[in-house]
Amino acid sequence: MPPSPLHIFAPAKLNLFLHVTGKRTDGYHTLQSLMVFTDAGDELALSPHDRLQIETEGPFAAQLGNPEDNLVCKAAALLAAHYKISPRGKIRLTKNLPVASGIGGGSADAAAALKGLVKLWNLPEEPAPLLQIAQKLGADVPACLHQKPLWAEGIGEKITPLPELPDLHFVLANPLVPTPTPQVFGNFQHGFSAPIRIFGPQKSTGEWIASLKACRNDLTDAAITVTPAIRGVLAALAATPGCLLHRLSGSGATCFGIYDSAELAQAAASMLKRNHKDWWVTQAGMLR
Ligand code: C5P
């Protein structure tokens, strides 16, 4: 019997706030962001194979381009090159998250692939090479390796864990209009935000929400320019009972609402699904 595949979860990330604080000479923007990871995500199943092969399935698999161009393949190639081995293995990617949607799907898949391939190839569990490779793959990939609440700075690679964040409950809503990150940054015209201090120490949920409300997602206007439907998604989330905060995640188009309980989030998700059958809507808990 073939060995059972190794299953690795690739959680969606949410930027609870995102401030753009400057622009580097290489064109990348410097940010401050509080990021969390949710129990909604993609799934990877890895098994031994004589060459590298990626198969895709799931509700959003059709939106993925050529599998060879997938960030998962690039992650495998960079990891194999670092350890001077040939990349081998079958990776089945179940794409549950909409693509180009501001919740890090591609970055999460790449980070999950790195974690899984270290196990599949019996490589040493050293964080430093993974972090280095993650940085080459994209600005959000280092954070996606972490998968727990964190404060991100730099272009996203400077990470401070935030274990004191209380449990939050989310609804994610996306109008299903792919919103490419480079286009959103290209439309960014906001002045830069002054750097702020990391939140804390220990606060109640109400204090965390108040701190978050004092912040923004600076990419919101630029994302609405690229995908005007975002405006309606934000308004619909704001109108759900018990919504403590509604905001765009990353460069969009996914927006999220925060709720005090899983029951309130569930009710809000049901309401949005009923009223907006052409959107992707899901309730999600927070990984910690
Ligand atoms: O790193 P990633 O591939 O996710 O970024 C996609 C594009 O988004 C970059 O090429 C850049 O145009 C923009 N970007 C940026 N500053 C960041 C992250 C992304 O300008 N911190």
Q: Which residue ranges form the domains of the chain, and what is each CATH number?
A: 6-160 (3.30.230.10), 163-285 (3.30.70.890)
The angle, 0 to 180 degrees and rounded to 10, between the axes of the packed helices 71-82 and 105-120 is 40
Catalytic residue among 42, 140, 203, 221: 140
Q: Which atom of ligand 1 is nearest to the CA of 140?
A: 4
**Cα–Cα distance for residue pair 228/226, rounded to 1 Å:** 6
CA dihedral angle for residue 186, residue 109, residue 150, residue 142, rounded to 10 degrees: -70
Tell me which residue of 4, 1, 146, 10 sits closest to 70, measured CA to CA: 10
pLDDT confidence tier of residue 67, bands split at 50, 70 and 90: confident
Q: Quick check: CB of 181 below 6 Å from ligand 1?
A: yes
**Cα–Cα distance for residue pair 154/20, rounded to 1 Å:** 10
Portion of the chain with pLDDT greater than 70, in percent: 99
Query: Residue length, the chain?
Result: 288
Q: Which atom of ligand 1 is nearest to the CA of 139?
A: 1
pLDDT of the residue at 1: 63
**Residue 53 in contact with residue 91, Cβ under 8 Å?**
yes
Q: Quick check: CB of 138 below 6 Å from ligand 1?
A: yes
Q: Which atom of ligand 1 is nearest to the CA of 186?
A: 12
Residue 2 has pLDDT above 80, yes or no: no
Q: How many CB atoms lie within 10 A of CB 49?
A: 12
**Mean pLDDT value of segment 150-168:** 95
**Cα–Cα distance for residue pair 168/163, rounded to 1 Å:** 13
> Could you confirm whether 95 is annotated as catalytic?
no
pLDDT of the residue at 210: 96
pLDDT of the residue at 21: 98
**Cα–Cα distance for residue pair 141/251, rounded to 1 Å:** 15
**Cα–Cα distance for residue pair 217/27, rounded to 1 Å:** 19
Q: Which residue has the tokens 């997938």?
A: 70
**Mean pLDDT value of segment 145-159:** 96
Mean pLDDT of the chain: 96
pLDDT tens by residue, 105-148: 999 999 999 999 999 999 998 989 999 999 999 999 999 999 99
Residue 164 has pLDDT above 80, yes or no: yes
Where are any strands of DSSP class E within 48-112? 52-57, 89-94
Residue of minimum CA distance from atom 13 in ligand 1: 182
Q: Quick check: CB of 156 below 6 Å from ligand 1?
A: yes
pLDDT confidence tier of residue 177, bands split at 50, 70 and 90: very high
pLDDT of the residue at 211: 96
> Could you confirm whether 167 is annotated as catalytic?
no
Read off φ and ψ for residue 44, nearest 5 degrees. -120, 140
Residue 66 has pLDDT above 90, yes or no: no
